[in-house]
Amino acid sequence: MEIKKYGSEKMSKNEGVIYRISGPVVTATGIEARMYEVVRVGNEKLMGEVIEIHGDQSVIQVYEDTSGIRPGEPVLSTGQTLSVQLGPGLLTQIYDGIQRPLQTLEEVMGVFITRGVDADGLDLEKKWDFVATASKGDDVLGGQVIGTVQETDTITHKIMVPPKASGKIKSIKSGDFNVTETVCTLEDGTEIKMMQEWPVRHPRPFSQKYAPDTPLVTGMRILDFLFPLAKGGAAGIPGPFGSGKTVTQQSLAKYSDAQLVVYIGCGERGNEMTEVLDEFPHLIDPNTGKPLMNRTVMIANTSNMPVAAREASVYTGITIAEYFRDQGYDVALMADSTSRWAEAMREISSRLEEMPGEEGYPAYLSSRLAEFYERAGRVETLNGEDGSVTVIGAVSPPGGDISEPVSQGTLRIVKVFWGLDAGLARQRHFPAINWLSSYSLYPQSLNQWFRDNIASDFPEVRTQISALLKVEAELQEIVQLVGSDALPMDQQLTLEVARMIREYFLQQNGFDPIDAYSGVQQQYAMAQAILTFQEEAKKAMAAGARLQDVVNVQSRTELMRARFAEGYLDKIGGLVEAMVAEIAATAEAN
Amino acid sequence: MTSKEYKTITDIKGPLVFLEKTEPVAYGEIVSIRLSDGSEKNGQVLDTSDDMVVVQVFEGTEAIDRKAGVKFLGDVFKLPVSKGLIGRILDGAGRPRDGGPEIIADENADIIGAAINPYSRQSPHDFIQTGVSAIDCCTTLVRGQKLPIFSASGLPHNDIALQIARQAKLRDSDEEFIVVFCAMGITAEEYNFFRSDLERTGALENAALFVNLADDPAVERLITPRLALTAAEYLAFEHDYHVLVIYTDMTNYCDSLRQIGAAREEVPGRRGYPGYMYTDLAMLYERAGIVKGKKGSITQFPILTMPGDDITHPIPDLSGYITEGQIVISRELHQAGIYPPINVLPSLSRLMGSCIGEKTTRDDHKKVSDQMYAAYAQGRELRGLVAIVGEDALNERDLQLLKFADIFEDKFLRQDRDEDRTIDETLNLCWELMTNIDTKYLVRLDQELIEKYHPEEKKA
Ligand SMILES: Nc1ncnc2c1ncn2[C@@H]1O[C@H](COP(=O)(O)OP(=O)(O)OP(=O)(O)O)[C@@H](O)[C@H]1O
Ligand SMILES: [Mg+2]
């Protein structure tokens, strides 16, 4: 196959031979490669990356299956590091871990992924309507926007001067261009095209990092209300198998108010990616009213695809996320699952016979995790705009026990921990996020936003709700010993209120066409409804009502059920009023 | 290709043979080793370099000495495939075991198998009726799914697997499954049980069997499931068959994997299993599904026995992380004399949502399943409470739920080994059993459904 992507221009014509092959790790002699340089391995020119150098030997991780390759076959260095192609055409795509479009692979290879095929990340032929926004004579710096392309109906792709270039514009023209044609020339002769390449293992530059102050609204009540994540923040979702990591991640990809989503299926199931592909084009983004696919880029390197490409997949994803951040967008990146990424590192590391750290993971595991999550953030872009990358990483701890290295390494860095709980999943309490062990360190910095945009007492209401849940946990311990009837009435009421929080507020079926998304305004109204119930029940019981009657009022059931129908926010007020009246009546009846 | 014979073995260790001074040998290449008594063994290259080649010997290294002759056969492991596989019994390395002739190949397929492009997959959505109520109602199986049975030694997982194999069908369709059965290290007795059952029902003529028994070489088990899946892929995607792959016991497979890892002195992961076991298992389990433009499908039913009944053991744990749910067999239910002893609470079918409902099963399926599940879960929890505080402390609702848990196990779970319930029968049974609970406590059902199906509240 001809080498297209890692082009001939910079090829250093440096050729060596294979000395050893052990699974995805190949050792070559006779090339003078640099670390992380892309090389071509064997007669089939499989793509690989230099990950270690010992004297004359270069150790290479290969992104494709190495069966059938022999010592003595050639190895070619390319002079380039592992990079992605950035420009119009990224959106709606689904790539493998090294940015080969899966659709192109299907066209070339059929339904099974074979090897030795290169494919460009971007369509190099397609013409885009470039609208220049800078003019001849303008002084431009790296990262500055010089024009736009309407890539999908929701996303305007901004064309930027590559980060390292700058100068005075000699010429610039609007019109139809493909991504490799020059749209702008600088005085010093630099030609700017719509496509840039960027090495995936290097964070893209920005002017400065800001402290996050805006929540990433997810539409999931337990997340937004109790454990909010900031735009530009990082969250970890650990949980055993079947507890809801993927459903949560997919919910976030669907409903969160990020402008762009990069979804990385890293070492997980093929069918889950198919599901996203089937569903997203038909789902409407609640924030824009347009198909979700228009704001989505997917990376799918499933569990049975080569591990080295799995290792690369998170870098490919986050580089694409940063590129859109640099255009001033709020980007959310989901990585499902970071544990599979860590395992890929472990597999490669053990082939290198490196000294293992904890549980066989390489000693650099925690620093790699930290470097990855550090690429999240809210920044001032080189163009002076505000942009952010929010990272949400699923973690799959063996046996569900988070004392293991990947969970611990993640928790040391992220500020939000959404802990999934097998027990809750088994009770079909979804999302199975444990409200006692989960936490967010952002409320302080986000409270102002909630006060300004939702309600002035939002943080206080949140505190009341979480306090009720804590009290419930303590009471439950007593109930386990003596049964609930033995508790005093006011505590029995507390249990009922807490049950209402769990069943009405925290539970939210990710597949319910309506309840799967709940706006923050509605979340607040629901929390208030619960507190109103508590207050009115107390009053009625003080006036002689029986707890049982108060709890069983029909209007409360209606209030709770109505959330499954359209337009709930508008109805809540009336439903609460009806409930208040009916509860008051229970006291009179006695 | 080189068919030169080398006599350069330096070391022999566990299932591995090390040799030096060869011409360039390919990674994954198949090896034939001739022993001094003239017998032959087969193996595969695990590591190759100019100085040293490491060969994994499938039949074990017993009786190999440094004088043995080693030939490299120039190719990776391939299975001759054709429709002639149907009705045949092969050994764990793909050689006839039924006294029949060699398989005449239409093609030779690489047994490692290439990954299905996720873009080329099609989401499974066809409901498979297994006739087993617990599965059909609560953990519904979908054609193209990989749904393992998590069992433990001494439990009737084989009966359940066979019952499913016998009864599985699409509703209102006579499209049949063909079975690819793969035995890894099971006893001759277990194997005979499978075989005679398949023979009795006539399914054997429509099955392909790959058999590695407990006294067959342990390392061979690493290729047996790959042969079975290669056959399955060929039959499904070249000949439009709907293939049901049953493989048992994954625990033996994983133990062989551990053995190789130990012999190579790899850094072990949890409980001594190799760190790459997740990836290795995924290379098997992910060979299930449906792909665009092909009529056939592969549905997988792997069976594994959980060491020490421990679901957090690496074998069930890593499997659960890859498969699309699991059916968990319970020792407690088995000891209580219930067949099939399926514990629905930790069981799950992740694809269930895509295949149940008005168009495929029945409009009440989802809600009935949720309600049965919830009532049973609460009833079981109450058993624990009753053990401490006694039944007197329970209110009316709790008493009903407590009794329901027993009814659920006795009437819903329990069925005969050849009892084949249609989905309608199963759902009607659910309604009948739920009459033991006041409708006001059946909060997961809505009024509309109650009026339509509840035996006592039904509006004629
Ligand atoms: N929010 C939710 N609403 C409804 N159902 C849910 C929700 N979360 C999880 N589930 C149920 O739990 C099942 C498993 O969830 P999911 O696939 O997200 O688990 P996971 O944590 O990603 O597991 P694995 O680690 O094996 O990938 C789903 O198929 C669904 O039935
Ligand atoms: Mg998942």
Q: Measure A565 CA to ligand 1 centroid, in angstroms.
A: 24
Across the interface, whether the CB atoms of B346 and A426 are under 8 A apart is answered yes
B292: closest CA of chain A, how far (Å): 8
pLDDT for residue B284 is more than 90: yes
Instruction: Tell me what pLDDT residue A12 has.
Output: 45
Task: Out of A221, A247, A343, A514, give the residue to mutate to test ligand 1, the one with the largest number of ligand atoms within 8 Å of its CB.
Answer: A247
- Of A68, A347, A482, nearest to B276 by CB-CB distance is A347
A495-506 residue pLDDT tens = 999 999 999 999
Please indicate if any CB of chain A lies within 8 Å of the CB of B121: yes
Partners of B276 on chain A (C-beta within 8 Å) are: 307, 343, 347, 350
- B20 Cβ partners below 8 Å, 6+ apart? B8, B10, B51, B52, B53
Q: Indicate the pairing of strand A234-238 with strand A416-417.
A: parallel
Instruction: Tell me what pLDDT residue B174 has.
Output: 72
Best to test chain A binding among B147, B229, B234, B279 (most A CBs inside 10 Å): B279
Across the interface, whether the CB atoms of B24 and A72 are under 8 A apart is answered yes
* More reliable by pLDDT, B270 or A186: A186
Best to test chain A binding among B117, B298, B441 (most A CBs inside 10 Å): B117
B298-355 residue pLDDT tens = 999 999 999 999 999 999 999 999 999 999 999 999 999 999 999 999 999 999 988 8
Task: Out of A218, A222, A246, give the residue to mutate to test ligand 1, the one with the largest number of ligand atoms within 8 Å of its CB.
Answer: A246
B121-150 residue pLDDT tens = 999 999 999 999 999 999 999 999 999 999
Q: Measure B388 CA to ligand 2 centroid, in angstroms.
A: 38
Best to test chain A binding among B121, B229, B372 (most A CBs inside 10 Å): B121
Task: Out of B123, B147, B348, B355, give the residue to mutate to test ligand 1, the one with the largest number of ligand atoms within 8 Å of its CB.
Answer: B348
A340 Cβ closer than 6 Å to some ligand 1 atom: no
Please indicate if any CB of chain A lies within 8 Å of the CB of B1: no
pLDDT for residue A9 is more than 70: no
Instruction: Tell me what pLDDT residue A200 has.
Output: 95
pLDDT for residue A307 is more than 80: yes
* More reliable by pLDDT, A5 or A23: A23
Q: What is the mean pLDDT of chain A?
A: 92
Nearest one of A365, A380, A462 to A410, comparing CA atoms: A365
Q: What is the mean pLDDT of residues A207-232?
A: 96
- At A213, is the pLDDT very low, low, confident or very high (cuts 50, 70, 90)? very high
Please indicate if any CB of chain A lies within 8 Å of the CB of B307: no
Across the interface, whether the CB atoms of A70 and B374 are under 8 A apart is answered no
Helix (H, G, I), strand (E, B) or coil at A75: strand
Instruction: Tell me what pLDDT residue A4 has.
Output: 42
A525 Cβ closer than 6 Å to some ligand 1 atom: no
Q: Measure A426 CA to ligand 1 centroid, in angstroms.
A: 11
Q: What is the mean pLDDT of residues A264-281?
A: 91
Q: Whose CA is nearest to atom 25 of ligand 1?
A: A241
Q: Measure B284 CA to ligand 1 centroid, in angstroms.
A: 22
Please indicate if any CB of chain A lies within 8 Å of the CB of B119: yes
Which residue is closest to B377 within chain A, CA to CA?
A: A427
Dihedral sign, Cα of residue A163, residue A165, residue A167, residue A169:
negative
A167 Cβ closer than 6 Å to some ligand 1 atom: no
Ligand with the closest atom to the CA of A265: 2
pLDDT for residue A7 is more than 60: no
| Predicted interface score ipTM higher than 0.90 | yes
Instruction: Tell me what pLDDT residue A10 has.
Output: 43
- At A490, is the pLDDT very low, low, confident or very high (cuts 50, 70, 90)? very high
pLDDT for residue A426 is more than 90: no
Helix (H, G, I), strand (E, B) or coil at A237: strand
Q: Whose CA is nearest to atom 28 of ligand 1?
A: B350
Across the interface, whether the CB atoms of B48 and A21 are under 8 A apart is answered yes
**Percent of chain B, pLDDT > 70?**
99
Q: Measure B341 CA to ligand 1 centroid, in angstroms.
A: 24
Instruction: Tell me what pLDDT residue B460 has.
Output: 61
B15-57 residue pLDDT tens = 899 999 888 999 999 999 999 888 999 899 999 998 999 999 9
Instruction: Tell me what pLDDT residue A590 has.
Output: 65
A242 Cβ closer than 6 Å to some ligand 1 atom: yes
Q: What is the mean pLDDT of residues A80-102?
A: 95
Q: What is the mean pLDDT of residues B62-78?
A: 90
**Residue entry with tokens 């499902």:** A336
Across the interface, whether the CB atoms of B48 and A114 are under 8 A apart is answered no
Q: What is the mean pLDDT of residues B277-305?
A: 95
Instruction: Tell me what pLDDT residue A11 has.
Output: 44
- At A5, is the pLDDT very low, low, confident or very high (cuts 50, 70, 90)? very low
B350 Cβ closer than 6 Å to some ligand 1 atom: yes
Q: Measure A504 CA to ligand 1 centroid, in angstroms.
A: 20
Partners of B326 on chain A (C-beta within 8 Å) are: 242
Q: What is the mean pLDDT of residues B56-83?
A: 90
- At A516, is the pLDDT very low, low, confident or very high (cuts 50, 70, 90)? very high
Q: Measure B131 CA to ligand 2 centroid, in angstroms.
A: 29
- Using omega within 30 degrees of 0 as the cis cutoff, is the peptide bond preceding A337 cis? yes
Q: What is the mean pLDDT of chain B?
A: 92
Across the interface, whether the CB atoms of B115 and A112 are under 8 A apart is answered yes
Which residue is closest to A485 within chain B, CA to CA?
A: B393
Please state the pTM of the whole predicted model. 0.94
Partners of A346 on chain B (C-beta within 8 Å) are: 269, 275
B169-214 residue pLDDT tens = 888 777 778 999 999 999 999 999 999 998 998 888 989 999 999 9
CA distance A165 to A504: 55
Radius of gyration of chain B, Cα coordinates, nearest whole angstrom: 25
Ligand with the closest atom to the CA of B348: 1
Q: Whose CA is nearest to atom 8 of ligand 1?
A: A244
pLDDT for residue B2 is more than 50: no
**Percent of chain B, pLDDT > 90?**
73
Instruction: Tell me what pLDDT residue A589 has.
Output: 72
HEC readout, chain B: CCCCEECCEEEEECCEEEEECCCCCCCCEEEEEECCCCCEEEEEEEEEECCEEEEEECCCCCCCCCCCEEEEEEEECEEEECHHHCCCEEECCCCECCCCCCCCCCEEEECCCCEECHHHEECCCCEEECCCHHHHHHCCEECCCECCEEECCCCCHHHHHHHHHHHCEECCCCCCEEEEEEEEEECHHHHHHHHHHHHHCCHHHHEEEEEEECCCCCHHHHCHHHHHHHHHHHHHHHHCCEEEEEEECHHHHHHHHHHHHHHCCCCECHHHCECCHHHHHHHHHCCCEEECCCCCEEEEEEEEECHHHCCCCHHHHHHHHHCCEEEEECHHHHHCCCCCCEEEEEEEECCHHHCCCCCCCCCCHHHHHHHHHHHHHHHHHHHHHHHHHCHHHCCHHHHHHHHHHHHHHHHHHCCCCCCCCCHHHHHHHHHHHHCCCCHHHCCCCCHHHHHHHCCCCCCC
